[in-house]
Structure 1
Amino acid sequence: MRDATWHQASIDQTLRHWDGRSDLWIFGYGSLIWRPEFDHLEARRARIHGYHRALCLWSRINRGTPERPGLVFGLDLGGSCEGTVYRIAGDRVPDILGPLWQREMPSASYIPRWLNCHTTSGAVTGLVFTMDRRDEGYVKGLSTEEIVAIVRQGRGRYGHCTEYVLQTADALDAAGITDRRLRAIARALRRPI
């Protein structure tokens, strides 16, 4: 876990090119779709290129334990990803980013990046949390069966890993976003053991 000083330094580094006034866009691809937990002026469906949604990060606190880890979503390299981009008011940025960093960056497993988020109303530059492949929690190459087994066993501070994955799958379906791999995982998780 990172402390408040580290979080603030990371926020300051990320915002070094922000003018301190303009509204800011944040891209959600996992739980931020169904539980953003911050006030926003607008939400748009958006697609980013160069990254895809994947259950690629061990969760040893929030959705699992060190002995029985779960998996959480990250944006891994390659492909594209549809999600939701949220516009937050410029004067609310300092209040919103602190709690957002505590939620998204507890162990610095993600790299905050500014990426083009393509919407039907045009592209916006959004803050996107991408997977740091050098992080010790990064995992790749798991089969659907392995993912399902890991997700089923995971339970942590925020509850069951299965619930987290199914809520994300349901939120994507409700938003009209197709993620075939996640749908296959969700179907397998809903089958009786």
Structure 2
Amino acid sequence: MSSYDAADHALVHVDLREGFWVFGYGSLMWSPGFAFVERLPAVLSGYARSFCMWSIHHRGSPEVPGLVLALDAEAGASCQGLAFRVGPEVAEQALAELRERELVSSAYLEHEVVLTLSDGRDVPALAYVVDPAHVQYTGPLSLERQAEVIAGACGGRGPNCDYLFSTAEHLAQLGMEDLELTELSEMVRHRLKT
């Protein structure tokens, strides 16, 4: 039994016979959790990555919410990440696993977006985008507030700080350093030492 209810979500129609692409901009980059046949750096235009979603499952709890990254629609913005191509032979299973993970609450919306891959191709892909009308949407938070929350939260997938550190480190290793996440990591490490 799935922990999400498909009736609560507007799901993208995916032609499983062709396989599909999915965009990773947070933990999917370093822990996709599904089989893929291709992985390439990619850019998504029109969205910004930010800690704008309360996490009450994976990196926090209802009592002590954490923060997770989400894509927030923003004119003129762009987000670097990884595009994963899932082959048709595992597409059904991979899509079910993705939806189980990403749609654990209705805070994310499943969208079809267009990614520009590092080899110049533009491809349609799934992306999980924050619903700004959802109660878990934080809106803009100062870096100080983000650091305070992330330093103190823990959820089913572990400490909130590990999520931040892993994402920032993987982006840097891929040559896509997110300076805001690097600064935030330093602030959280300082809080954890004091």
What TM-score do you get using the length of structure 2 for normalisation? Answer: 0.91
2:187 counterpart residue number = 188
3-state DSSP of counterpart to 2:98: helix
Identity over the aligned pairs, expressed in percent? 31
1:139 counterpart residue number = 138
Shift of 1:13: 3.7
User: 5 Å matches for 1:30-41?
Assistant: 30-41=26-37
Shift of 1:178: 2.2
CA distance in 1, matches of 2:188, 2:175: 21
* 1:94 maps to 2:92: yes
CA distance in 2, matches of 1:5, 1:178: 34
* 1:50 maps to 2:46: yes
Shift of 1:8: 4.7
Superposed CA offset, 1:114-148 (max 9, x none): 11111122111111111110110000221100000
Give the 3 Å change call, closer, same or farther, for CA 92–171 of structure 1 in structure 2. same
3-state DSSP of counterpart to 1:71: strand
Shift of 1:12: 8.6
Identify the match of residue 70 of structure 1 among 66, 75, 82.
66
Q: Report which stretch shifted further, 177-186 or 140-149.
A: 177-186
* 1:23 maps to 2:19: yes
Shift of 1:190: 2.0
CA distance in 1, matches of 2:3, 2:66: 28
What TM-score do you get using the length of structure 1 for normalisation? Answer: 0.91
CA distance in 2, matches of 1:113, 1:72: 18
Residues 34, 168 of structure 1: 8 Å contact kept = yes
Shift of 1:67: 2.0
Give the 3 Å change call, closer, same or farther, for CA 67–11 of structure 1 in structure 2. closer
Residues 109, 129 of structure 2: 8 Å contact kept = yes
Residues 115, 125 of structure 1: 8 Å contact kept = yes
Residues 26, 69 of structure 2: 8 Å contact kept = yes
- Pairwise CA RMSD of aligned residues? 1.8
Amino acid in the other structure paired with 1:68: V
Number of residue pairs matched? 189
Structure 2 unaligned residues grouped into runs of 5+ = none
Structure 1 unaligned residues grouped into runs of 5+ = none
CA distance in 1, matches of 2:15, 2:159: 40
Residues 8, 106 of structure 2: 8 Å contact kept = no
